[in-house]
Amino acid sequence: MIIKNKAIIEDDWQVLRLQDQETAEAAIVPNGKIIVPLKVWLAQRAVLQQRNDIGVWFASDERPENLAEDVHRFSVIAVDFPKFSDGRGYSIAYNLRTRLGYSGELRAIGDVLRDQLFYMQRVGFDTFEPRPDRNINDALKGFEDFSEVYQTSVDRKQPLFRRVVRQGMGAVGFGDD
Amino acid sequence: MYCYDEYDQRMIDERVSQYRDQVRRRLSNELTETEFLPLRLQNGLYMQIHGYMLRIAVPYGLISSRQMRMFAHIARKYDRGYGHFTTRQNIQFNWLKLEDTPDILADLATVQMHAIQTSGNCVRNITSDEFAGVAQDEVVDPRPYAEILRQWSTFHPEFAYLPRKFKIAISGAKEDRAAILAHDIGLSVGKNAQGETGFRVLVGGGLGRTPVIGSEICEFLPWQHVLTYVESILRIYNQFGRRDNKFKARIKILVKALGIDEFRRLVEEDWLNLKDGPGTLTREEVERVASFFTDPTYEVLTDHDSSLKEFMADNRNFSNWMKHNVRPHRVPGYAIVVLSVKKPGNAPGDVTHEQMDAVADLADHYSFGEMRITHKQNLVFADVKQADLIALWRELSKLELASPNIGMLTDIISCPGAEFCTLANARSIPLSKLIAERFESLDFQYDIGEISLNISGCMNACGQHHIGNIGITGVEKKNHEEWYQISIGGAEGNNCSLGKILGPSLTFHQIPEAIDRILQVYLRERIDEGERFIDTVRRIGHTPFKDHVYATDFTEEPIKPDDKDGVVAARYAVPFFSPRF
Ligand code: HEM
Ligand code: SF4
């Protein structure tokens, strides 16, 4: 079960993770819908690009630019959070959405917990695989933590100060005048 | 000062509910301590020796009397009757229970306060000049920008799990009073030759175990771009900052490793995507926020009240106080008053709930109901009528907040140290008391003149010992003794420099004597009274100080088992979980 667009749904994508000794070149990519490590995609691109049931996932130290124009081939891209406290995945997601223009499904995998979901959805994730030992229904509540935000990100193109009229204390001059 | 609108208030209230639920889940073991840790840290809650410590944000150090009364209430109701002002212009309570913390945050939310991002690996509370808005040397008031940055950084989704904590300081005066060179990002807002407002941006400064002075990444950034530029700096840091070793995770290490030019290139490459985009500040927004920081209704007055002169001539304590604790104000007839929270014998920065209430009343009466917390752990009344100075001084004297020692030897900055902190190598506060008592004589202090003394209980440098003229760091404890290193030559301000270690470490009881010897060298070597301690150190170098300090043995103080200052207290072996965050 995963969360997609704030609903719990069945999911038939598998995530391929390399075993200790396994190299990206030698890794066997099984049949069926599978999300492979970026390394595997880059190493086996010639073969894998023939398939249309492949997704790719980023480790937190990999850079979205490495996928460059390939990004539009995928209907699923995932970003792995090895630990929830490793925040690089947030910038990877932001860059995939804004710099590379990726508009397909973007899922958070790994150490994905309720208390990070609010921020994750803001930087462009729409699909989440919460850690299996946690109650997925409970995780849904994480999206409701805040009803308003100050700054821009993927979900909000305009900051609060451009979206609403906020009251000040009356007119003051600006320093430049 | 800034006043929340419905948006600010709603976000704070929602944060309290979110946190209340997190505490509930922790108490029912639904969350493990490992999972709860980063959540509580983003709410300023640390596990320390006596239980939980809560750090409450005082954005850029500015606080109203109503908020101060709330601190008094928290100190009384949930703590042991006092709080501790920190060098980052915040307040900490050291003796709290986890179960109480949601209620404390709810209480704080009623006076527009919170503990958001006061710890954890995120953008921390933004600090600024304690004399902002009233200083004579101010070019642009930094407070509106500090508030704009506060809002921008609050719950920033992308930068909540950075490699390490991130501190931003901003100043807008000719003299830097916010230590902007010692921050992850330092901003100096000013004007260019055309009279346009903009920022000098510094990056990669910081103290801690690897002290570094910030490098200039941008000489003049027009004000519109400050949020997007800071965003790009953080994005580069978030992606490239080291995460394998927490001692090498601050942005200063990244900037050093890449070099400032390469770091700038990366930032500006990212920034090109944001520049002039929707994150760009608007004039309306700056004016809206600035409208909260307009002048209070000053009366039209003149300087030089003759009754003050007479009273100064009659009363030496008062004239000392006028000389050392009162600063000139931009508006005629007004003065800036620094309240000394450094009475020798008391812990630097500690304020009781009675003092808080009384100070709040005085602020209402004498300073438009507002005050500031300084990075030297003192308080400031920014808008006092000169004609009120005598009355205010009498009141402050009763409260023991009028020690005329601002900028003097006993105006010591000290971190909490081993009695409160699990990371400490040695105690800080008892050492600061020992030093303050030894040099209590005001005549002696005035003879020494301007000097800064900073104490940290370990190399993490919460007492900012690197930028103290004299810096003391706890290095280890062994054989029932605590050992400290002394450095000299550090300074803050425009001429910021890092102190250099003088020589082998010394024990708790040797430190006051060592300081005495350092001061003797200064008195012997200075050209005249106008040459400050730091100037002498810069002129003659370390060697004369080192030679004299280590020339003769220190008299050994026997350690008596029942002397609590002599023996390192047994409660060092901390049974609690240690937050190695
Ligand atoms: C008692 C609980 C505290 C703990 C456990 C603690 C821990 C730390 C640690 C680990 C660092 C080093 C961070 C790094 O370099 O990456 C640090 C730095 C610092 N802390 Fe604290 N601290 C505490 C209290 C305080 C207090 C009370 C103050 C203010 C009086 C303070 C102000 C600072 C400052 C100014 C720095 C230096 C920032 C820099 O590295 O540039 N801390 N603290
Ligand atoms: S300097 Fe060290 S001892 Fe002092 S508060 Fe910071 S971590 Fe604790």
A151/B287 CB distance under 8 A? no
pLDDT in tens, A70-100: 999 999 999 999 999 999 999 999 999 999 9
Ligand 2 proximity of B207 Cβ (cutoff 6 Å): no
Same domain, A78 and A59: yes
State chain B's mean pLDDT as an integer.
91
pLDDT in tens, B478-499: 878 899 999 999 999 999 999 9
Same domain, A171 and A118: no
Please report the number of interchain residue pairs, chain A to chain B, with beta-carbon separation below 8 angstroms.
133
Please enumerate in sequence order all residues whose Cβ is within 8 A of that of B384, keeping only pairs 6 or more positions apart, or say none: B334, B335, B336, B337, B366, B367, B392
Using DSSP, state whether B370 is helix, strand or coil.
strand
In-domain check, residue B546? yes
Range of the domain at B332: 306-398
What confidence score (pLDDT) does residue B361 get? 97
Closest ligand 1 atom, residue B210 Cα: 15
What confidence score (pLDDT) does residue B514 get? 95
Please state whether beta strands A76-81 and B379-385 pair in parallel, antiparallel, or not at all (unpaired).
unpaired
In total, how many domains does chain B have?
4
B195/A176 CB distance under 8 A? yes
Same domain, A152 and A142: no
Same domain, A84 and A165: no
Using DSSP, state whether B312 is helix, strand or coil.
helix
CA of residue A119 relative to chain centroid, distance: 11
Residue B573 pLDDT > 50: no
Q: How far apart (Å, rounded) are the C-alpha atoms in residues B552 and B417?
A: 29
Long-range contacts of A171-175 (CB under 8 A, 24+ apart): A171/B287, A171/B291, A172/B287, A172/B290, A172/B291, A172/B294, A173/B287, A174/B197, A174/B283, A174/B286, A174/B287, A174/B290, A175/B140, A175/B191, A175/B197
CA of residue B179 relative to chain centroid, distance: 9
Please state whether beta strands A14-15 and A34-37 pair in parallel, antiparallel, or not at all (unpaired).
parallel
Same domain, A142 and A156: no
Q: Looking at the partner chain, which of A151, A168, A174 has a beta carbon nearest the beta carbon of B152?
A: A151
How far B139 CA sits from the closest chain A CA (Å)? 10
**DSSP code, position A83:** S
Tokens of B543: 């060697």
Name the region of B61 (left: φ>0; alpha: ψ -120 to 50; beta: rest).
left
Using DSSP, state whether A165 is helix, strand or coil.
coil
Residue with tokens 């950034």: B221
Q: Are A86 and A112 in contact (CB under 8 A)?
A: no
Residue B323 pLDDT > 90: yes
What confidence score (pLDDT) does residue B557 get? 55
pLDDT in tens, B142-170: 999 999 999 999 999 999 999 999 999 99
Same domain, B283 and B364: no
In total, how many domains does chain A have?
2
In-domain check, residue B347? yes
Same domain, B85 and B225: no
B278/A162 CB distance under 8 A? yes
Same domain, A51 and A104: yes
What confidence score (pLDDT) does residue B572 get? 28
| B298-326 as b/e: b if 16+ CB within 10 A | eeeeeeebeebeebbeeeeebbbbbebbb
CATH code assigned at B319: 3.90.480.20
pLDDT in tens, B338-382: 999 988 777 888 899 999 999 999 999 999 999 999 988 899 999
State chain A's mean pLDDT as an integer.
92
Residue B39 pLDDT > 90: no
What confidence score (pLDDT) does residue B561 get? 46
Using DSSP, state whether A125 is helix, strand or coil.
coil
- DSSP letters, A20-77, are TT--TTT----SSSEEEEHHHHHHSHHHHTT-SSEEEEE-TT--GGGTGGGGGG-SEE
Please enumerate in sequence order all residues whose Cβ is within 8 A of that of A37, keeping only pairs 6 or more positions apart, or say none: A16, A17, A18, A24, A27, A56, A57, A59
* B330, burial (CB in 10 Å: exposed 0-12, middle 13-18, buried 19+): middle
Same domain, A34 and A45: yes
